[in-house]
Amino acid sequence: MLIRLRRGWEIPERLATPEDVYLNRRTFLQALGVTGLSTIGALMGCNREGQSQSATEAPPPPIGLPTPSATANLYPAKRNEHFTLDRPLTDEPIAARYNNFYEFSPNKQQVSRLVNAFQTRPWQIEVRGLVKKPQTFAIDELVRRMPLEERLYRHRCVEAWAMAVPWTGFPIKALINLVEPLSSAKYLRMVTFNNPEQAVGMNDDTYPWPYFEGLTMAEATNDLALFVTGIYGHELTKQHGAPMRLVTPWKYGYKSIKSIVRIEFTDQQPPTFWATLVPREYDFSANVNPAVPHPRWSQESERLIGTSDRRQTLLYNGYGEFVADLYKT
């Protein structure tokens, strides 16, 4: 995600940073070894892809895998062959070292180095709001009850980089069926964990932690919408959002909220993290659309990470056959 908090009016007043907090943050950033020009980069958000972060270095062994859990034996899950790609899969070590997860760092290449202390078990997910059967699931209990499958999906970040990944997960509608939403439920609101001791980036109070996102019920029940618990045939790694994240491949990646702890059914459109921070640059829908430029760059093409391949961006990231009907007026 690229943000540039240049002017006071671009962020809500409650997000403006008092001097003492700024000084504390500076100390904290210095402790991370982020100083001078790179401090400015960190405060403004991550660097523009391709500027100083290369994803093409020699790949190290896979990293970020949590201690195997009680459901580790469910991976790899059977692949659903219905979902095919128009491009090669991204190499796992490349995807594993190029992550947007601001709770750890605004620098994509730092995230995987900062996730070691992150504890993804025990982990509970609370489902509440306008449902007949609100309940709290232990993650392994939930995963065992869900129909896990592997899908090859394209992923398009709003910053114009892209990858192709084998996710393992289950359709959101399988979970929705368990809790039985009321007819008044129109939206899902999802929230990430909140633990600055384990996630060092959460000490940066420029951001309105914890991360929050939302979908309409029609989007959440679409065939493509997945809750993901695995990647590359094993459990989800920490930097990709263990133990459970959202994946909606027709939307820019910022929709795909990681490490979810709460799902709430509501009748009001929920606020979302980036649209709260920078409303003129990010919106609720987040649908991939090459014809609508980001205010600061074009969305017409995308760069496949780990390669020099640049491709034309497709409307709905190429998933129009599944989702275009959702947006017909």
Residues that bind ligand MTE (CB under 6 A): 1, 99-103, 157, 192, 211, 240, 253-254, 256-259
Among 108, 109, 105, smallest CA distance to 118 is for 105
Nearer to ligand MTE, 92 or 140 (CB): 92
Nearer to ligand MTE, 8 or 60 (CB): 60
Nearer to ligand MTE, 71 or 192 (CB): 192
| Shortest Å, Cβ 279 to ligand MTE | 16
| Shortest Å, Cβ 19 to ligand MTE | 26
Q: Name the closest residue to ligand MTE (Cβ).
A: 253
| Shortest Å, Cβ 237 to ligand MTE | 9
Nearer to ligand MTE, 104 or 137 (CB): 104
| Shortest Å, Cβ 325 to ligand MTE | 25
| Shortest Å, Cβ 20 to ligand MTE | 26
Beta strand pairing call for 260-266 and 124-129: parallel
| Shortest Å, Cβ 180 to ligand MTE | 27
Among 186, 252, 192, 195, smallest CA distance to 220 is for 186
Nearer to ligand MTE, 184 or 194 (CB): 194
3-state helix/strand/coil string of the chain: CCCCCCCHHHCCHHHCCCHHHHHHHHHHHHHCCCCHHHHHHHHHCCCCCCCCCCCCCCCCCCCCCCCCCCCHHHCCCCECCCCCCCCCCCCHHHHHCCCCECCCECCCCCHHHCCCCCCCCCCEEEEEECECCCEEEEHHHHHHHCCCEEEEEEEECCCCEEEEEEEEEEEHHHHHHHHCECCCCCEEEEEECCCCCCCHHHHCCCCCCCCEEEEEHHHHCCCCCEEEEEECCEECCHHHCCCCEEECCCECHHHCCCCEEEEEEECCCCCCHHHHHCCCCCCCCCECCCCCCECCECCCEEEECCCCCEEECCHHHHCHHHHHHHHCC
Nearer to ligand MTE, 1 or 34 (CB): 1
Nearer to ligand MTE, 181 or 253 (CB): 253
| Shortest Å, Cβ 323 to ligand MTE | 18
Nearer to ligand MTE, 181 or 192 (CB): 192
| Shortest Å, Cβ 107 to ligand MTE | 12
